[in-house]
A and B are shown apart, each in its own frame.
Chain A
């Protein structure tokens, strides 16, 4: 079967990316040998493809994965909490906040529980007691990764573990950073940070 030039021209991009069959490729090459304009287009597209593939791009990387795991754990925790019937919770967000508060209590620091029936123990995993990090932090749900990253970079902090099943992160100051200054920066970011506590290992 012989195709028209116009039909074959539509396959030019797939000639360039190497996904045509051998027969189609041979047909195209024969056409290009006689058609200088199409051959020039092929060369231009090949350059564009090479340029695109060579483009360096910075991805969310491990931070994006940590964020994903945090939210997956939050998703997974919702039905588990319902099964244990510890307390009736009206929304996932509310439950998350209550659970985070329990974890903070377990770290023997100040905490606030908005109801008398807060979740306890069963069904939840607290941040590891011997985990690394000077601070234990939870972030507001739905905070964009960019805001968290900017906050941590600005405060000279890094995530050393987490998120835990409750979405808690353990942070350390970078070399040369000051823990008190960093803690103050986190506490000042009230729209991003839900809780900040000193870790007690």
Chain B
């Protein structure tokens, strides 16, 4: 699979549009999901997805194969979303773990129930882009720490730290929402 995608990128670099279409079909869904998870705007996400594949078309000839095709493509998407955030001048919503809240409570509070999807969406939306990216790549794509670090262009320790904080924030947020619903 990886070798096949590498071959496709090489073909795209030679101007093969069918190879580009094949790459699009292989990566459209996961890359789009990743972008949406960071923007919460499906329409803007569709435009950014388009830009990602236009970039692939334009720069595929310079792909040297030192990274996996997947991390290369996600890296392009990662930077595109950062650009989009800069254009929006979007502020970071949450970066610090609140002092209150009990992780164990969140874990035990019936979170496993299926109806919590909406809570999860909400709480993901409260995370900073760095945190959300790390969670998305780890849980949507099941990427290794090294892969996520390569995409984000930071050391692995930074990714572990981001995931750790994102986990605390998510569980804290979920705990609060579940508690609120129970009270209501």
From A57-65, A85-93, A116-124, A168-176, give the one contacting chain B: A57-65
Q: How far is the CA of A68 from the CA of B21 in the complex (A)?
A: 9
Q: Is the CB of A68 within 8 A of B167?
A: no
Question: Which residues from B are CB-within-8-Å of A10?
Answer: 160-161, 163-164
User: In the bound complex, how far is the Cα of B106 from the Cα of A11, in angstroms?
Assistant: 20
Residues of B within 8 Å of A9, CB to CB, are 164
**How far apart are the CA atoms of A49 and B142 in the complex, in Å?**
9
Interface string of A14-46 (1 = CB under 8 A from B): 101111000000000000000011001101110
Alpha-carbon gap, A60 to B135, bound state (A): 23
Residue from B25, B54, B139, B164 in contact with A17 in the complex, judged by beta carbons closer than 8 Å? B139
Using A52-B120, A65-B21, A144-B43 as known contacts, say yes or no to A19 and B50 having CB atoms under 8 A apart.
no
Complex Cα distance, B159 from A11, in Å, reads: 10
Number of A interface residues in the complex (CB < 8 A): 42
Interface presence of A76 (CB below 8 A)? yes
Contact of A51 among B33, B117, B142 (CB under 8 A): B117
The answer to the question of B72 belonging to the interface, with a C-beta cut-off of 8 Å to chain A, is no
Chain A residue with the shortest CB-CB distance to B112 = A47
Check B167 against A12 for contact (C-beta < 8 Å). yes
Among A43, A48, A76, the residue within 8 A (CB) of B15 is: A76
Q: Is the interface of B mostly helix, strand, loop or mixed?
A: helix
Is the beta-carbon distance between A13 and B139 smaller than 8 angstroms? yes
Give Cα A57 to B136, complex, Å.
14
Contact A53 B47 (CB under 8 A): no
B148 to chain A, nearest CB (A): 9
How many A-B contacts if CB must be within 8 Å?
126
Interface pair B171/A41, CB less than 8 Å apart: yes
* Given the contacts A19-B142, A48-B139, A68-B53, A57 and B36 also touching, CB distance less than 8 Å: yes
Asked if A43 meets B29 with Cβ closer than 8 Å, knowing A13-B163, A48-B120, A57-B36, the reply is no
Per-residue interface assignment for chain A, residues 143 to 174, with 1 indicating a CB less than 8 Å from any chain B CB and 0 otherwise: 01110000000000000000000000000000
- Cβ of A55 < 8 Å from any Cβ of B? yes
Q: Which residues of A contact B50 (CB under 8 A)?
A: 60, 64, 67-68, 71, 145
Choose one: B43, B49, B143; the contact of A146 (CB below 8 Å). Answer: B43
A-B pairs, top 7 by smallest CB distance, nearest first, are A40-B107, A10-B160, A44-B107, A49-B139, A19-B144, A17-B142, A146-B43
What would 9 A/B residue contacts be, using CB atoms closer than 8 Å? Answer: A12-B167, A13-B163, A36-B104, A41-B104, A51-B120, A59-B29, A60-B32, A68-B24, A146-B43
